[in-house]
Chains A and B, each alone.
Chain A
Amino acid sequence: MKNFAYTKASTSSEAVNLLESSVGGKFLGGGTNLVDLMRENIEQPDSLVDISSLPLRDIVENPDGSVTIGASAKNSAVAINGPIRQRFPVLSQAILFGGSGQIRNMATVGGNLMQRTRCYYFYDHASLCNKRTPGAGCDAIHGFNRMHAILGTSSHCIAAHPSDMCVALAALDATVEVESRRGKRSIPFVDFHRLPGDTPHLETELQPGELITAVTIPKLEAARRSVYRKVRDRSSYGFALVSIAAILEIVNGTITTARLALGGVAHKPWRAFPAEELLQGNPANDEVFRRAADGALAGAQGFHYNAFKIELAKRVIVSTLSELAQNEGA
């Protein structure tokens, strides 16, 4: 890996200033993704601004019922946080399904949002990748694409976003709080990550110089009955082939709130809005769930090694929803 400058910031404004004054600088969270990518020479920052000890670790319940999670909070800390576990179990579960204990202990919330795809060709300099080298081509489309996207792909890139935590945050309608020298702003979570289009190297709406300071989850009573299901190639320590974050509220047999987000299927955590519409206001039965699953996967395109994900995703949606519905009934 190439040499780089290293500084450690103690406040968010210091972090922002340090980054702006550096050339080719990057923030360093837990380093579990960035350092890997640097060792692989995919990321080659000239300087790192370490933000792991910023006072952004708290998880706070706000008066309006929302919860704010500091961007430097460790993934493990979020997963075991009492209010999160009670009010947003889907988030706690999603995190615990990710990586290994060691990785979750290092990884931060901000870093998790910004982690990059695990596409084999993205990692391999001998391969063509539009994300690494815009315009070069994409070796994954006709290559090993088992881990790749089936929704929202483009002819330029079919990579999938690897995060579990983000799938839950998408379902929870979170917002991402960011800060830069230009001030602060909030970005709705569902808009934070981008689809590849013809610019797969642009992955999020975060602008150069912007620091993620927190993620805020709005109050949602229905989320107390939420669940995360992850399907992967081994029991642990594997990225999702398909995952689902689901929230379901049923009153008198009718679905009053439905939130559904999918992981492992798109360049971003995939909020399945059409499916939610098909659920909302309808009876909670398998037929409705099946229609919702079809709706969620409408327009999905499979590739040589991942076409199975379409059927898999549908099955997981139906079974997860009916499980939630059964628990509701109980």
Chain B
Amino acid sequence: MMSILMTLVQTAARFMPDAKRDPLIDSHGYVGKPLDRVDGHLKVTGGARFAAEYALDDMVYAEPVFSTISKGKVRRLDTSVAKRCPGVIAVLTPHDMPRLKAPTLVDFSKLDKIAASNLPVFQDDRVYWNGQAVALVVAETHEQAQEAATKVHVEYDIEDSNVSFDANKARATMPKDVLGEPPEIKIGDAEKNLAAAPVRVDAVYRSPYYSHSAIEPHATIAVWEGDDKITVFDSTQFVEGYRNSLAHVFGIKPENIRVLAPFVGGGFGGKAGFWWNTVLAVAAAKIVKRPVKFALSREGVFRIVGGRTIAEQRVAIGATVDGHVQSLIHTGVTATPSHARYAEQCTFPTRHLYATDALHIAQYVVDLDMVANTWMRAPGESIGTFAVESALDELAVELRMDPIDLRRNVEPKRDPTKDNEFSSRHLLEAYERGAAKFGWAARNPQPRSQRDGSWLIGQGVATAYYPVLRLPGAARVRVNADGIATIHTAANEMGMGVATSQLQHAADRLGVPLQCIEFNYGDSEMPSSPMAGGSCQTVSIVASVRAAVEKLHRELLKLEQQDPASPLKRAKYDDIVARDRGLFLASEPSRGATYVDILRRAGKQHVEAEGTSAMPMEMMKYSMASYGAQFCEVRVNDITGEVRIARWLGSFDCGTVLNPKTAMSQLRGGIIMGIGMALTEEVLVDDRSGRIMNASLAEYHVPVNLDVPHIDILFNDIPDPHTPLGAHGIGEIGITGVAAAIANAVYNATGKRIRSLPITLDKLL
């Protein structure tokens, strides 16, 4: 992807003038208010319908049979008993399947199709990972399908497989690219500088395989109309990517496929990649000629949907005694199967965070026979910040320097690897505000210096980092004769509060009360919108809606120009502001017309416009990211090693905050997920079989309420002049830095440096 063309575009982008500053950055309306979620009532009363909750006439149910080996061939698949079970309609095997094209792995230059794995689905008798679906029972009820699935008898020819990360990491290789970025960067001679540096830290950090564990397991309902029309209800966080992927796999025109996902019960990246369950549901519906519901069990999610891969990272830092960094090295190995080829971007934070004389970044991947790994909340940055932010803390200890002072020392003026300007970076301000509120100054840097009975107490801090992305998209805006506006865009709501913040924005953009707008989303037939991923959706939709509203306003002005009675007859687009339900001259506030008025005079029922946002050239010109400072206090039981989080404060620099209430909730959610990542979560893959042994929420330990303290959130709330509304995405940054802040606090409490997640009590005994 780093083609010559791309390099050219990037170079050109640097010399391009900036896009016009969004005027709404400086005006205040609904944007910035902590409004309640518009779908809150629906959610708590059970009125919000999720994919699995659509009850269609004549619907039947699917249940998979999972492989129990990690590599080989299905020698014999005996479905005879299962087929005779009550209610069974079909037991599908690769032999029964229509010929399907293999899904296409995500291509970051297009982001149209989005498969997590490019294995052909159910097209042959090969087994690629332990837990892969090898048969699918379809029955009149879900219970019947589940029962029959246990009666499918499978025999395998087992082949040697590679499932152990530790046994295989030595043969890791460097991938072609990491999300389109170079896998290796060298500035100066980092190893030489390290060797010569007066103060050094050099350590290896480990993190396990994690599962998203969204509360809603993946579910699909598929319906065919004739041979070439499909409607799918799916728990996806990317309706359009799923539509395109289905079109490709089934060889059907995208226009003939409709993917609906009005509500999704959490995704965290686990529902962005296109997985087997959706393909199987659609194929089964074609074969049995009835609507098919395929709702995965929790075990099913663990078996056929991947998560965050296991990783081993080295971070080495060489510095002068006064904390000037002379060398920064961050290398890492992550696992991925050859059918996913996804190298998690664990070194990305280090590419942009700190000033150093010399830098060495390198990423490697080892291919394992495992379910495809995939994006999981701040993929790469979450584990990458664990490594680099732990190492920085280790350096601070070596230097006897306050870790926040150290960060002041290494704050760069320009992006360290891209050598471009930051669009908006106020990390140190986030540290200062956070430190003041948290009471950082009172912390004793001496380990084991604070105690409450058998509990040792410690405080830790770490930087949070996540890039700012924006993707082009489209939206359709309409104002009706009654003054009600509607917006359509194929957005995805997985619990973040998309509709609420978008309504706030649209109300300000159109100058109408929030109650006068409907926001429609979650349907692939609507204008194209990017996935709910990469923390880019909110800002991307804001840009699309802004483009659509601009077009709409121009249309309305055209109507006005044709009307001799219009107060805006001679107004140009740049002369007007949208407020008080209509358009008014900026220079002459009393002169203008309401939308109702304009439509009435023009004799129109409505005016509509579809707008497409511009290419994100700003991303090429500037170094764009959100930042934050995570502060925590932990209690570690000196007798048992139990770690409990006593308090948390996250101080964030993430542009304009559109809605502090939903934003805080996103950040808290990220921090809570980070607490799980740091302390309790680990998918246990048996090295002998490649099988996941804790495929349930009883045994895969996400944090419980009692593990989560009150979480304070602060915002700098400084707009980024180069983004719509001055806003950044905030879905992922919350989890970054969390594990490091905890590990650093554990060190402060106990004097023990834990470099391997999760920090379970045995590591502290």
Contact = CB atoms under 8 A, between A and B. Distances in A.
A233 interface: yes
Given A126-B68, A308-B765, A312-B761, A233 B680 contact: yes
B693 interface: yes
Interface string A84-122: 000000000000000000000000000000000010110
A234 B675 CA distance: 11
Interface in B170-205: none
Contacts of B691: 124, 126-127
A306 to B, nearest CB: 9
A238 B686 contact: no
B338 interface: no
Contact of A233 (B150, B688, B761): B761
B518 interface: no
B699 A234 contact: no
A50 B153 CA distance: 33
A319 B455 CA distance: 12
Interface stretch (B106-114, B444-452, B624-632, B702-710): B702-710
Given A120-B693, A126-B68, A144-B686, A234 B703 contact: yes
Contacts of A297: none
A311 B705 CA distance: 29
A235 B762 contact: no
B454 A319 contact: yes
A120 B640 contact: no
A291 interface: no
A118 B699 contact: yes
Contact of B688 (A118, A124, A125, A142): A142
Interface in A1-29: 1-3
Contacts of A139: 686, 688
A3 B143 CA distance: 10
Given A1-B147, A127-B691, A236-B705, A311 B765 contact: yes
B146 interface: yes
Interface in A226-283: 231, 233-238, 241
Contacts of B762: 308, 312
Nearest to B641: A312
A1 B143 contact: yes
A315 B640 contact: yes
A300 interface: no
B684 interface: yes
A41 interface: yes
B332 to A, nearest CB: 25
A143 B703 contact: no
A186 to B, nearest CB: 33
Contacts of B146: 1
Interface in A207-224: none
Nearest to B760: A233
Given A120-B694, A142-B688, A143-B688, A235 B143 contact: no
Interface string B640-651: 111010000000
A145 to B, nearest CB: 10
Contacts of A202: none
Listed residue (B68, B150, B693, B761) with the most chain A CB atoms within 10 angstroms of its CB:
B693
B749 interface: no
Contact of B642 (A124, A127, A231): A231
B111 to A, nearest CB: 37
Nearest to A120: B693
A235 B150 contact: no
B290 interface: no
A163 B378 CA distance: 38
A23 B640 CA distance: 48
B679 interface: yes
A77 interface: no
Interface in B661-719: 679-680, 684, 686, 688-689, 691, 693-694, 698-699, 701, 703-707
Nearest to B640: A231
Listed residue (A2, A121, A237) with the most chain B CB atoms within 10 angstroms of its CB:
A237
B693 A144 contact: yes
Interface in A121-176: 121, 124-127, 139, 142-144
A316 interface: yes
B639 interface: yes
Interface in A299-325: 308, 311-312, 315-316, 319
B490 to A, nearest CB: 37
A142 B693 CA distance: 13
Chain A, interface SS category: loop
Interface residues of B, number: 33
B447 to A, nearest CB: 20
Given A124-B693, A231-B761, A144 B639 contact: no
A70 to B, nearest CB: 28
Contacts of A235: 644, 704, 706-707
B520 to A, nearest CB: 37
Nearest to A143: B686
Interface in B293-324: none
Interface in B370-396: none
A315 B761 CA distance: 13
Contact of B639 (A3, A234, A319): A319
Given A118-B699, A120-B693, A126-B68, A236 B706 contact: yes
Listed residue (A2, A120, A125, A231) with the most chain B CB atoms within 10 angstroms of its CB:
A120
Contacts of B680: 233-234
A234 B704 contact: yes
A124 B68 CA distance: 10
A315 B694 contact: no
A66 B765 CA distance: 40
Contacts of B707: 234-236
Nearest to B693: A120
Given A124-B691, A126-B691, A233-B680, A2 B704 contact: no
A50 B572 CA distance: 79
Nearest to B637: A231
B50 to A, nearest CB: 22
A125 B694 CA distance: 13
A308 B513 CA distance: 62
Contacts of A120: 684, 693-694, 699
A144 B487 CA distance: 52
Given A120-B684, A231-B761, A234-B679, A143 B706 contact: no
Contacts of B704: 234-237
Contacts of A125: 68
B662 to A, nearest CB: 27
Given A143-B693, A144-B684, A233 B640 contact: no
Contacts of A3: 147
A3 B384 CA distance: 50
Interface in B567-610: none
Contact of B701 (A2, A118, A142, A238): A238
B639 A316 contact: yes
Contacts of B679: 234
A120 B689 CA distance: 14
B639 A315 contact: yes
Contacts of A118: 698-699
A143 B689 CA distance: 10
Contacts of B644: 235
5 contacts: A120-B693, A124-B693, A127-B689, A236-B707, A238-B701
Q: Which 7 A-B pairs have the closest CB atoms?
A: A126-B68, A235-B706, A308-B762, A120-B693, A236-B706, A319-B639, A236-B704
Interface of B: 68, 130, 143, 146-147, 150, 454, 639-642, 644, 679-680, 684, 686, 688-689, 691, 693-694, 698-699, 701, 703-707, 760-762, 765
Given A235-B707, A316-B640, 19 more contacts: A118-B699, A126-B130, A127-B689, A127-B691, A127-B693, A142-B688, A144-B684, A144-B693, A144-B694, A231-B640, A233-B680, A234-B706, A308-B762, A312-B761, A312-B762, A312-B765, A315-B639, A315-B640, A319-B454
